[in-house]
Amino acid sequence: MTEMIAMRDAYGRALVDLGEQNERVVAVDADLASSSKMNLFAEAFPKRFFQMGIAEQNMTGVAAGLAALGFVAFTNSFACFATLRTTDQIRVSIAQPSLPVVIGGAYSGLLGGKTGKTHQAIEDIAVMRALPNMTVVAPGDGVEVRKAVFAAADHGGPVYLRMTRDPSPVVFDEGYDFKIGRAVLVREGSDVTVITTGLMVGRAVEAAALLAAEGISVHLLHVPTVKPLDVAAVVAAADKTGFVVTAEEHNIIGGLGGAVAEVLGEQRPTPMKRVGVADVYGESAPNDDLLQKYGLTAGHIAQAARFLMERRAAHTQP
Amino acid sequence: MAGPYRDERLAELANGLRRLVVETLCHTQAGHPGGSLSAAEIVAALFFSVMRVDPQDPEWEERDRFILSKGHAAPVYYAALARRGYFPEEMLQTYDELDSLLQAHPDMHCPGVDMSSGSLGQGLSVGVGMALGMRLKAIDARVFVVLGDGELQEGQIWEAAMAAPKFGLDNLVAIVDDNRIQLMGDTQAIMPVEPISEKWRAFNWNVLEVDGHDPAAIVDACAAAARAKGRPTVILAHTVKGKGVSFMENTHEWHCAPVTEDLKERALTELCVRKVRQ
C-alpha cells in the first residue's frame, strides 16, 4: 500500500527543522497556522512567529519589512488568500524589490476540506507566475515539500510555495535531489508524455499504470517549479513521444498547461491536452466527488492520453 | 549620527528642497508637485536632524529606516537624499528617465531608499515588519513612515494600525502629511478621513499633532515619540498642499501636473523671496 503524507504535516515539521538550522527564518500568519501546521514553528520559536490576525495584506507587508531587515519571512494563509487577496502587496512590496519572502499557500486546488469556491485556489499559479522575480513551486508530495521549504529559504528572492491539505501518496524517496527550477523524470516511456505539477504527479503515476495495462507507455515528467520552467526538460520530454498531456489541480488557463504550451509553441509545436479545472469555479463537496466532477483523477489523465493516442492513430493512417 | 543641520536652518533647507522639486518636475514635465511641496519640512527634519543615517554607508545596519508610503512625493525625497549626500545633485536631472535610479515612485535599488513604494497603503505594514525585525536583531533604531491623509482611505493602513500597538512598537513613527487634498479634490469630500487623530487614538497609538511646516515642532515631536514607551506614535502634521508656491497652494489642480518653464520661474522666484523673509 502506498505511503500517505499530508503536505501540511510535512510543511510544519520542515519549518521547525529549518528554524533550528537558520535563525534568520521568521514566520507571519493570518490566523491559519493551525490549519497549515505552521503552528509547530510558532510553538518552537515563539519570538520568531508573528500573529497578524485576519489581515492578509498587512501580513504580507510585514513579511516584506522583515525581509528588508535581513530575515527570510514565511507568510501563511490558504493559497487563495495568500496570493489573491494580497496580489498588489506581493507585487509592490515583495516582487518588485525581489525580497526573500516565501509565500506559503496552504489548501491549494479544490481540496480545501469541504470549503467550496471561496477557499479553492485555481488561479494562484497563473497570477503568481505572471509576476516578474517570482518563483513558483508546487511540490508533488510531502518529501518534496520538505526539500522545497529548505530550498525556498536559501533562494534569496520571492517564492510562492503551493501546498495541499489532505494526505497524498508519497512519490519521492528521501534521497531525491530537489532543486528549484529543475524538473524530474519519474518514469521513462515512449508513447505519450505526461507533465505534472503539485500532487497530480501521484495521480499520473496511477494513470501510467492504467495505461500500461492497455499497452500505452507513459513518459512522466514532474515539474515542481512551474516558474522558472525547466525548458530543456520539457522540450526533451515532448520530443520523446511527440504528444503531451499536462496535469494540474488548477485552472487550465495560465498554470502548468499554459507554461508548457508557451514553451512548446515557440520551440517545439507538439499536440497537447491539458488536464485541469476547465475555467469554472468549484463548489463544496467530498474530495472524491470534486475530483471526479472537475476532471482531476488518474482516470482523466489516462483519458487525455488515450485521446492523443487516437489522434496519432488517425494521423498515421494512410 | 544625526544630520549636520540645527533646527533654525531646517526651514531654509526645506525651501531649498522645494526649489529642487520644482526644477526636477519642470525638467521631466510630469510628476506630483503638491504632495512633494507639502512634505518638505517633514522630510527635511527627518533627514537633517532626526534620523540616524550615514549617506556614505546607506546600508548601515543600525540606521533608522525611512519609508515614503505616499510614494508620489518621491521628488522631495530625492531632493533630500541629494542634499544629504547620498548621490550628486545633478542626478536629480535623471528623475523619471530610462535606467535612472530615481524612478517616478521610489525603488529600493536607489541609495537611501529602504523600501519600494508607489501603490498607496502599503508602507505602514512594511514599517511594522521592519520595527519587529529591529527588535529581533536588538537594533536600537527607529522606523519612520510618511503617509498622506488621502492614503488613510486604504484599508491596509488600518490593518497595520491595529498590528503595531499589539506588538508595542515604540520604535515605529508614522507621520501623516495632512494636506487635506487628494487627486480629485478635498479629502473630506472624496471620502472623509476625519477625525484622524481620534481614529489613531482608538487604535491605541500615541498621537501628536504639529504644524507640518514648523521644522522645530516636527523634530520635537519625533523626540517625544522616542520617549513614549510601549506603543507606536503617529504625528499628525498639518500641512498645506503645494506649500510655498502661491498658485499651487490648496488646490488639487497641482496634485499631478507638469510645471512649465514660465511657471517654474515664477515658483522659484517665490521660493527665493520666502527664503529671505524667513
Mean pLDDT, all residues of chain A: 97
Report which of B52, B90, B13, B42 is spatially closest to residue B221, judged by C-alpha positions.
B42
Picking from A51, A92, A101, A131 by the largest number of B CB atoms within 10 A of its own CB, the best residue to mutate is A92
B157: nearest CA partner in chain A: A58
Q: Does A158 touch chain B (CB under 8 A)?
A: no
pLDDT at B1: 40
Measured between CA atoms, how close is A50 to chain B, in angstroms?
Answer: 9
User: Cβ B132–A62 below 8 Å, yes or no?
Assistant: yes
User: Cβ B108–A97 below 8 Å, yes or no?
Assistant: yes
Contacts of A223 by beta carbon, 8 Å cutoff, 6+ apart: A183, A195, A196, A197, A229, A230, A233, A234, A256, A260
What average pLDDT does this structure show over A192-201?
98
Report which of A21, A4, A25 is spatially closest to residue A73, judged by C-alpha positions.
A25
pLDDT at B278: 45
Q: Does A65 touch chain B (CB under 8 A)?
A: yes
Residues of A in contact with B119 (CB under 8 A): 88, 91-92
Where does residue B139 fall: left (phi above 0), alpha (psi -120 to 50 degrees), or beta otherwise? beta
User: Is the pLDDT score of A282 beyond 70?
Assistant: yes
User: Cβ B115–A88 below 8 Å, yes or no?
Assistant: no
CATH class of the region B7-277:
alpha beta
Measured between CA atoms, how close is A233 to chain B, in angstroms?
Answer: 34
Picking from A26, A28, A58, A72 by the largest number of B CB atoms within 10 A of its own CB, the best residue to mutate is A58
Name the pairing type of β-strands A272-277 and B65-68: unpaired
Share of chain B above pLDDT 90, in %: 94
Dump pLDDT digits (tens) for B114-143: 999 999 999 999 999 999 999 999 999 999
B139: nearest CA partner in chain A: A69
Q: What are residue A222's DSSP bridge partners? A: A184, A196
Residues of A in contact with B129 (CB under 8 A): 28, 61-69, 73
B122 vs A28, A67, A93: nearest CB: A93
Q: Does B132 touch chain A (CB under 8 A)?
A: yes
What average pLDDT does this structure show over A152-171?
97
B129 vs A55, A61, A91: nearest CB: A61
User: Cβ A57–B129 below 8 Å, yes or no?
Assistant: no
Dump pLDDT digits (tens) for A45-87: 999 999 999 999 999 999 999 999 999 999 999 999 999 999 9
pLDDT at A316: 75
Q: Which fold has domain A184-316?
A: Rossmann fold (3.40.50)
Contacts of B147 by beta carbon, 8 Å cutoff, 6+ apart: B69, B70, B123, B124, B157, B174, B175, B176, B177
Dump pLDDT digits (tens) for B4-32: 566 679 999 999 999 999 999 999 999 99
Residues of A in contact with B164 (CB under 8 A): none
Rg (CA), chain B: 17
| Residue A252: DSSP 8-state | S
A61 vs B61, B125, B139: nearest CB: B125
Residues of B in contact with A64 (CB under 8 A): 115, 125-126, 129
* Chain B (18-37) residues lying within 8 Å, Cβ to Cβ, of chain A: none
Rg (CA), chain A: 19
pLDDT at A172: 97
Share of chain A above pLDDT 70, in %: 99
Dump pLDDT digits (tens) for B208-264: 999 999 999 999 999 999 999 999 999 999 999 999 999 999 999 999 999 999 999
User: Cβ B125–A97 below 8 Å, yes or no?
Assistant: no
User: Is the pLDDT score of B103 beyond 60?
Assistant: yes
Report which of A312, A234, A285 is spatially closest to residue A120, judged by C-alpha positions.
A285
What average pLDDT does this structure show over A31-36?
96
User: Cβ A68–B162 below 8 Å, yes or no?
Assistant: no
User: Cβ A65–B126 below 8 Å, yes or no?
Assistant: yes
Contacts of B225 by beta carbon, 8 Å cutoff, 6+ apart: B142, B170, B173, B206, B208, B233, B235
Dump pLDDT digits (tens) for B55-89: 999 999 999 999 999 999 999 999 999 999 999 99
pLDDT at B159: 98
pLDDT at A2: 85
Domain range list for chain A: 4-169, 184-316
Q: What are phi and psi of A258, to 5 degrees?
A: -65, -45
The CATH architecture one would assign to domain A4-169 is: 3-Layer(aba) Sandwich (3.40)
What cell was used for A249?
489541480
What average pLDDT does this structure show over A153-161?
98
- This model of the complex carries an ipTM of 0.96
User: Cβ B115–A92 below 8 Å, yes or no?
Assistant: no
pLDDT at B6: 62
B134 vs A62, A69, A88: nearest CB: A69
Cite the active site residues of A. 56
d(CA B55, CA A210): 66
Q: Does B130 touch chain A (CB under 8 A)?
A: yes
What predicted TM-score, i.e. pTM, was given to this entire model? 0.96
Residues of A in contact with B130 (CB under 8 A): 65-66, 68-69
- With cut-offs at 50, 70 and 90, classify the pLDDT of residue B276: very low
User: Cβ A57–B159 below 8 Å, yes or no?
Assistant: yes
Question: Could you tell me how many CB contacts below 8 A there are between chain A and chain B?
Answer: 111
d(CA B63, CA A14): 34
| Lookup result for grid cell 498607496 | B120
Q: Does B129 touch chain A (CB under 8 A)?
A: yes
Q: Does B239 touch chain A (CB under 8 A)?
A: no
Mean pLDDT, all residues of chain B: 95
Residues of A in contact with B117 (CB under 8 A): 92
B71: nearest CA partner in chain A: A92
